[in-house]
Amino acid sequence: MTNTVVLDTGALTAFLVGSDGQAEQIRTEAASNRLAVPFGADLQVSGLLHTLVQQPGLLPEAEAIRALELLRVMQLDRHDTMPLTARTWSLRKFLSPYDAACAALAELLDAELLTTSPAFAAASLSCPIRDLRHPAGDRSLNVKRS
């Protein structure tokens, strides 16, 4: 059975351009799960790629262009953010609006959230969160279950 996982901007960008174990872990998840993101993910990733290209030696522009093409054709379930607005607002003290939308979407879909950001640790969420910055044996953040 295929599960759904929600990717935050960092996880989606790592999937597209990463070359480390973290990126491979995300690609493994993508191979066996449906991937979901809030609308706006394309712009978020484009912004992060822009930042990476501007830093000398981090990401060649050709690689960013290739990543954007891959993003365009990827099978991502892109979800409207309007149904997430109330929950997103309630998370405003802990998360940026887009990160809050990722968390709210994961809660709505009863899905796991894959992240490369420490920000989610401070929010009280009812979805499982896998912090991909941690070693394989210790990846889950504390989760408040409803």
In a domain, 142, yes or no: no
Query: Which tens digit of pLDDT belongs to each residue from 37-60?
Result: 999 999 999 999 999 999 999 999
In a domain, 119, yes or no: yes
Q: What percent of the chain has pLDDT over 70?
A: 91
State how many domains the chain has.
Answer: 1
Residue 139 has pLDDT above 90, yes or no: no
CATH number at residue 43: 3.40.50.1010
Buried b (16+ CB within 10 A) or exposed e, 90-103: ebeebbeebbbbbb
Residue listed under structure tokens 């609308």: 39
Q: What pTM, to 2 d.p., does this model score? A: 0.89
In a domain, 25, yes or no: yes
What is the H or E stretch that residue 78 is in?
A: strand 76-79
Q: What is the DSSP string of 123-140?
A: S--SS-EEETTS-TTS-B
In a domain, 141, yes or no: no
In a domain, 102, yes or no: yes
Domain assignment of residue 76, given as a range: 3-131
> Cα separation of 63 and 69, whole Å?
10
In a 13 Å sphere around the CA of 26, the CA atoms on its Cβ side amount to 26
In a domain, 139, yes or no: no
Q: Are 41 and 84 in contact (CB under 8 A)?
A: no
In a domain, 121, yes or no: yes
In a domain, 87, yes or no: yes
Query: What is the structure's pLDDT at 1?
Result: 53
Query: Which tens digit of pLDDT belongs to each residue from 20-29?
Result: 888 998 999 8
